[in-house]
Amino acid sequence: MAANLIIEVQLFGQEIGKVGYDVDKRTSYFQYHPEFLESNTYTKIFPYVIKRIKPVQVFTQYEGETFRGLPPMIADSLPDLFGNTIFKEWFESSHQGSKKITPLEQLTYVANRGMGALEYKPVQPIPKSTTIDIQEIVSVLEQVLDLKKQRSEKDLSELALLNIFKIGTSAGGVRPKILISEHKENGNIIPGDLEYSGDYRHYLVKLNLDEGIGYNREKVEYVYYQLTQELGIQMMPSKLIQGIHFATERYDRQQGEKKHVLTASGLTGWDFKSVAESSYENVFRLALDLRVPYKDIQELYKRMIFNLVFGNVDDHLKNHSFIYNKEKNAWNLAPAYDITYPLNINLNFTKVTRALSINGKRDNINLKDVLEVAEEFAIKNPKGIVKQVQSVIPQWREYAIEINIPERVIVAIQEEFVLLK
């Protein structure tokens, strides 16, 4: 491999290893740093796929859109669809005529700005900025995503794209989102790509763009957040910014520290687009194998019931994460996120199936199915959990009316709710 195709992986301020990618062989490599192995610390940071051994490890099975040839836990640091769109626009704007960038090279731009605590060197330097204007970012994004008008050279300056790239390519998912930090005392908002001190609250903000669909998806997600809080489902504190953008505090930035976080997909190498691997039972088995506290297993069951009852079919393997406790060298279930009604109510769907199956089924799931899952994983009082979740259905309308979600949207979404009986 050429030297420029090998990069250093750091965690908690120390090098843990190196990762490489051979474009011609379509093969990735990982090797632990000997000193890190000999220190015998943080022994469970990569519990699967990458073995805790000194020799170079070779990976050929992770080609494709999800992992892009890299070991899954490293690929977890790469942006998803939205982030890649912004990165591509910025890279082409600032590197005229350059060759296509590899996923490994892209990690040098992620550098120390990614979700979680993994960092990558060498770092491609990116100018820092001190303030952001959310409305200006929304305006540029609408152009980038072709929602209002066709792009042109003069509309999208390199600086405008750079500002969005820095704070909008590290977060995963399809929807437009940025990372910001809000000062706890004066309320100043700055880019959240590098800041993680305890002086700030760190948010992932899902931006409301003018999509012409007639309603605000971010408001819907905020109502779902309110419903989860009624039920005691663990989520980070969330709010609406300017009444239209959904902001949720980041669980990977807490008490002035970065937290090591991996998705179920990144931990295991299960492709979140693979039907064969995408089941709630697999997520439960993963949680048990990680030896999370029993309360996390109960919590996971409640999330499953909530997603089923409230029509969240986009509950795939990258929308379930685990967070590493470096003091205890142990894993916990991370707070829930991306819990919302994900479909466009204006479209007619003849058949939509769940991302994660339940009891081997992706549609027509009933009470018997969820009770069988409960029995397999020793869930206490599953009928009580189902009853509790369904008890907040009336509050969907109440909360939605409070923030002026249109009546037709309220009705259309509620028609997709599932009553388990």
> Is 220 exposed, middle or buried, given 0-12, 13-18 or 19+ CB atoms closer than 10 A?
buried
Q: Are 272 and 318 in contact (CB under 8 A)?
A: yes
Tokens of 302: 């409640």
pLDDT at 90: 72
Cβ neighbours around 372 below 10 Å, total: 14
Q: List the chain residues with pLDDT less than 70.
A: 1-4, 94-99, 125-131, 144-174, 350
CB–CB of 200/211 below 8 Å?
Answer: no
Strands 189-191 and 177-183: antiparallel
Query: What length is written for the chain?
Result: 421
Q: Which pLDDT belongs to residue 222?
A: 98
State the amino acid at position 125 in one-letter form: P
Q: pLDDT at position 189, please?
A: 83
Distance of CA 266 to the CA centre of its chain: 11
Q: In what order do the strands lie in the sheet with 27-32?
A: 57-59, 27-32, 14-22, 6-11, 119-121
Single out the residue of 346, 141, 172, 147 nearest to residue 245, CA to CA: 141
Alpha carbons 238 and 362: distance in angstroms, whole number: 30
CA 181 to chain centre: 18
CA dist 226 and 165 (Å) reads: 30
Owner of token pair 């992706």: 362
Give the HSE-up count for residue 51: Cα atoms under 13 Å, Cβ half-sphere.
7
Amino acid identity, position 194? L
Query: Which amino acid belongs to residue 178?
Result: I
